[in-house]
Amino acid sequence: MQKGFDNSLYIQKQKEHILERISHFDGKLYLEFGGKLFDDYHAARVLPGYDANGKIRLLYELRDQAEIIFAVSAGDIEKTKVRADLGISYDMEVLRLIDDITAMGISVNSVVITQYTGQSAADAFSMKLTMRGVKNYIHRPIKGYPTDIDYICSDEGYGANPYIETTKPLVVVTAPGPGSGKLATCLSQVYHEIRLGRRAGYAKFETFPVWNLPLKHPVNLAYEAATADLADVNMIDPFHLEAYGKTTVNYNRDVEAFPIVRNILSRISGDNVYQSPTDMGVNMVGYAITDDQVVREASGQEIIRRFFKALCDHKQGKGTQDAVDKIKRIMQEMGINPHDRAVVDPALEKSKASGVAATAIQLPNGQVVTGKASNLMSASSSCVLNAIKVLAGIDDSLMLISPIVLEPILKLKINILGSRSSVLKVDDVLAALAITAATNTMTARAMEELSTLRDCEMHSTTMLHTGDEGTLRKMGLRLTCEPVYPSKDLFF
C-alpha cells in the first residue's frame, strides 16, 4: 500500500502544538478530545500511513503531563446506547477504555456522569465505579444551558457542579461517543479553576474535518460521508475569515456553537482568547500529509465504502434514504461510482456466473480473488481460503481442509447447538483451518498468510450475518456488501 501520511511527523508536530497551547494558559489546559482514542480506522483508511492508534500513542508521549477524564451521559447509560462498531454499551466502553489506558501507564483521573436527572442505571454505574475504586462525579443539567450565560457562569450553574481535582498540566476530557457532555465538563472545570484563582484554558482536538485542507478536498468529503447520518456539513469558518482574512474549514455544529462558547469563556476568564472555532482547535494532521494524490484516492475509496454501508443500513431500517442520497451526491461531485471499487464487479460477476452468493478480495499486489457459497461454507469463508492459497502459492485444485473435518462441525452446529445456518461461517472455518494446520504443512503455510489480508479490500454480493462480518473486521479486511439479504429469513 502506498503511503500518503507521515505518522511520526504527525505525532511530533501534534505534541509540540499541544505543549505550546498549555504554555499559553500558564500551564493548565482542558482539552476536549473528540473521536476514538483507539482503532480510528476511518483516519487510517483516508490517510494511508496514519496509525489507527495514533491518538492514544500521542497521549502516551504526553503521559507525564496528561491525565484523562471520561464523560458519559446518564441518558445514554439509561438507554443502553451502544457503540456500533464494537457492539458494547457506552458505560461498558468507558470501563474497557479505562483498563486499556491504565495498562499503558497513562493516568485516568475520573468519570463524570453528565446530564443526570435521577436515572437508576446511572446510579448503578456510579456505584460500580465506586466499588472498583474509580473516582466519579455527577453533573446535573444547568437551567438555561447554553444560552443563559449569566446563570451558567454562576455558583448556581457551573459552580453547582463538583470540582474535579486534577494535578497535571493537560487534562484530556474524552467520551465513548458524541453528545456525552465533554464541552460542558471542560468549561465547568475552567470556571472552577479561575474561581480558585488559577488560570486555565480550553481547546478542542478533532481530526476531521482537516481545517487547513480545502473545503471540497476528498479527505473532508470523506468525513461528510462518514457522518451522513448525523447531517454534519463541512463549511468555511466565517469567524476565522472575518478575523484573519484566511479560509479554513470547520463543521456546522462547531461554527453554530462558537458564539456561545466564546461568550462563556469570555465571561469566565475575562478575555477573548479565541476569535474563531479554528482558533480553538489544535489539530495538526494536515501538516503530515506527504502525498496528496495517494490521500485523495484513498478518500474516494472510503466514500464508496460509506455508500455501501449507508445502503445496507437503510435496507435494514437502521439508516435513512437522506444519508444514502447525501453520499451519492458527494460521489457525483467527485466523479466516482461504486464500480470504481476494484472488488465490486468481480464479486457480482462471480455471483451471476454461479447463481449463488459470492465475495471478492483484492490482495496487496492488486490481484482479485473470488469465492462462492457452497453446501459446506459461506462465500466469505470460501473466499478467505482461496485468498490465502494464492498468497501461499498453493494450487487452486488442492484442498486446505478436508470435508471429513468440516462436515462433523456443521452437524454439531445443526444437530447439537440448534443452529439454523446450513453452512460454516468464517470463524468455524478458521477453527478447522487451525486444527488441520497442526498436522498439515501445506495448510500451516496458508494459515500464516491470514495476517497478509489485513487492510485488503473485500466485497460481498449479500449482507453478512453479524458473526461473519465481525470476524472479517477483526481480521482487518475492509468489507462492503450489496444491500441484499442472504435469505428470506426475517431474523437477520
Return d(Cα 149, Cα 266) in angstroms, integer.
Answer: 10
Which of 175-179, 358-362, 433-437, 451-455 has the least mean pLDDT? 175-179
C-alpha 50/C-alpha 41 separation (Å) is 9
Given a cut of 80, whether residue 492 has pLDDT beyond it is no
Beta strands per DSSP E along 149-197:
170-174
Query: Angle between the 379-392 and 426-437 helix axes, to the nearest 10 degrees?
Result: 40
**Helix-strand-coil percent breakdown of the chain, rounded to 5?**
50, 15, 35
Q: Three-class SS of residue 74?
A: helix
Share above pLDDT 70 across residues of the chain, in percent, rounded to a whole number:
99
CA angle 365, 367, 370 (to 5 degrees): 140
The pTM of the full predicted model, rounded to 2 decimals, is: 0.92
Query: Could you tell me which residue, 147 or 213, shows the higher pLDDT?
Result: 213
Burial of residue 335 (number of CB atoms within 10 Å: 0-12, 13-18, 19+):
exposed
Give pLDDT, residue 414.
83
Structural domains present in the chain: 7-214+235-288 (3.10.630.10), 343-481 (3.40.140.40)
**Hunting for cell 437503510 — which residue is that?**
314
From the list 191, 211, 137, 175, the residue with the least C-alpha distance to 32 is 175
User: Mind listing the pLDDT tens digit for each residue in 64-107?
Assistant: 999 999 999 999 999 988 876 667 899 999 999 999 999 999 99
Q: Are 59 and 106 in contact (CB under 8 A)?
A: yes
Output phi, psi for 69, to 5 deg.
-115, 130
Residue 208 backbone class (left: φ over 0; alpha: ψ -120 to 50; beta: rest): beta
Q: What is the pLDDT of residue 325?
A: 97
The model's pLDDT over 226-278, given as tens digits with 9 standing for 90+, comes to: 999 887 899 999 999 999 999 999 999 999 999 999 999 999 988 888 999 99
Report the sign of the C-alpha dihedral through residues 342, 348, 353, 355, in that order: positive
Closest CA to 285 of 331, 242, 201, 222: 222
Q: Tell me if 30 sits within 8 A of 189, measured CB to CB.
A: yes
Which pLDDT score is estimated for 445?
Answer: 97
Alpha helix stretches (DSSP H) within 270-374: 277-280, 292-315, 321-334, 344-354
CA-CA distance, 273 to 202, in Å (whole number)?
A: 10
Instruction: Say whether 235 sits in a helix, a strand or coil.
Output: strand
CA separation for the pair 250, 83 (Å, rounded): 25
Cell 462558537 identifies what position?
258
The model's pLDDT over 335-374, given as tens digits with 9 standing for 90+, comes to 999 999 999 999 999 999 999 999 999 999 999 999 999 9
- d(C-alpha 466, C-alpha 86), whole Å: 11
Share of the chain above pLDDT 90, in %: 84
